[in-house]
Amino acid sequence: MSEADTAQRAPSVGAGHRQWTGFAFVAPATLLFLVFILGPFIAAIVLSFFSWDMLTASKFNGLGNFRQMFGDSLLYKALANTFIFALASVVTHLVGGFLLALGVNRLTGRALSYFVRTSLFFPFVISWAAVALLWKYVLDPTFGVGTYYLGQLGISTPAWFTDPNWALPAIIAIDWWHTIGFTFVIMLAGLQTVPTELIEAARSDGCNGWQVLWNVTIPLMSPTILFAGVITFIGAFQIFDPVQIITPNGGPDNSTITIVMYLYQKGFQAFQVGYASAVSLLVFVIMAAVTALQFWVGKRWVHET
């Protein structure tokens, strides 16, 4: 690609004209990019050194916001909750998505396969607002359908959203229901790229099912698994809608407050714009670190295709 580009970039007749044509095509995107992404990004960094309530004049605060972050126990709580949520989300999505894909891939009945694929994917296309409201009722302690059938199985359920030990796990479960379809679809697509000849060959060499899975399928799937893991982590790290809708004040004992929810509270409810910007910078740094880690893991561990 770069070679072709260099060749094209060589001065030719009408190069000046072409130059402007190129600018014209990218101009709308570039303008919007500056106004809605790059500009606000820089503004957020600048704001993190100020204190401002959006009404009165802003005051330079030096490193004050960052110093405040170090002593902010609610911020630690939000970070801890977010990491717990994200890690639980990654593990349950990867294991569940992989096993479901493996199972569906082996199904021979077409109708059954269609039914399972569709019902796994259905919740993913629904908005978080609808999902969160629905599940508030599904897990309702008195008339919830989930509560009733868990009770029938002999499992006594806590009052999920008012119990500090169970509010976050409940939201992890709801998130699984909502987004497992995505992980499943990615895993299934990855699984279908594993060449059947390799599996056949391993079989005829006397490998049993587990050995094939462990030594052939999983290594060949590793790029897909890594990708699904990173995407799930990034999505889970920014979780906001369901926690905000189900537990608007951060849940019992702030047991469900997440980092983005904290950001929202500081920025749009307490109007501590400078401090919220400093917290958002921290979110950005964590995201960037995860992305860097992805590259590093990808280079060291993942099977090259």
Partner 1 sequence: MRAKRPSAGRLLLGVVLLAVGLIMLAPLVWLIVESLTGEGDAFGIPPNWIPKPFTVQNFRDIDGLIPFWRMALNSLIVATISTVGSVLVSVLAAYGFSRLPFRGREKLFALMLAALMVPVQMTVIPVFVLMRNLQLIDTLQALWLPALINVFAIFFFRQYFNTIPKELDEAARIDGAGHLWILFRLIMPLAGPAVAAMSILSFEASWNNYFGPLIFISSQEKMTLPIGLVTLQAGQGGSSVVVFAAITAVVVPVLVVFLVFQRAFVASITSSGIRG
Write out the binding residues for partner 1, residues 5-24 only, by CB under 8 A: 5, 8-9, 18-24
Nearest Cα neighbor of 284 from 261, 301, 260, 302 is 260
Torsion of CA 133, 136, 142, 148, to 10 degrees: 100
Residue 225 binding partner 1, by CB under 8 A: no
Please identify, using beta-carbon distances, which residue of 165 and 280 lies nearer to partner 1. Answer: 280
The correct pick among 89, 232, 254, 265 for binding partner 1 (CB under 8 A) is 232
Written as six digits, the tokens of 258 are: 């997440």
Rounded to an integer, what distance in angstroms lies between the CA atom of residue 300 and that of residue 305?
14
Q: Which residues are CB-neighbours of 265 under 8 A, at least 6 positions away?
A: 250
Residue 54 binding partner 1, by CB under 8 A: yes
Residue 227 binding partner 1, by CB under 8 A: yes
Please identify, using beta-carbon distances, which residue of 25 and 165 lies nearer to partner 1. Answer: 25
Write out the binding residues for partner 1, residues 180-219 only, by CB under 8 A: 182, 185-186, 189, 196, 199-200
Residue 258 binding partner 1, by CB under 8 A: no
Secondary structure of residue 50 in the 3-state scheme: strand
The correct pick among 91, 141, 148, 249 for binding partner 1 (CB under 8 A) is 148
Residue 37 binding partner 1, by CB under 8 A: yes
Q: What radius of gyration, in Å, describes the C-alpha atoms of the chain? A: 25
DSSP-assigned states of every residue in 68-92: HHHT-HHHHHHHHHHHHHHHHHHHH
Tell the residue number behind the tokens 């590259």, with chain if given. Answer: 295
The correct pick among 63, 80, 95, 145 for binding partner 1 (CB under 8 A) is 145
Residue 240 binding partner 1, by CB under 8 A: yes
Rounded to an integer, what distance in angstroms lies between the CA atom of residue 96 and that of residue 173?
12
Write out the binding residues for partner 1, residues 162-181 only, by CB under 8 A: 177, 179
Which positions from 115 to 144 touch partner 1 by CB under 8 A, shown as an x/- string?
Answer: xx-xxxxxxxxxxxxx-xxxxxxx----x-
Residue 100 binding partner 1, by CB under 8 A: yes
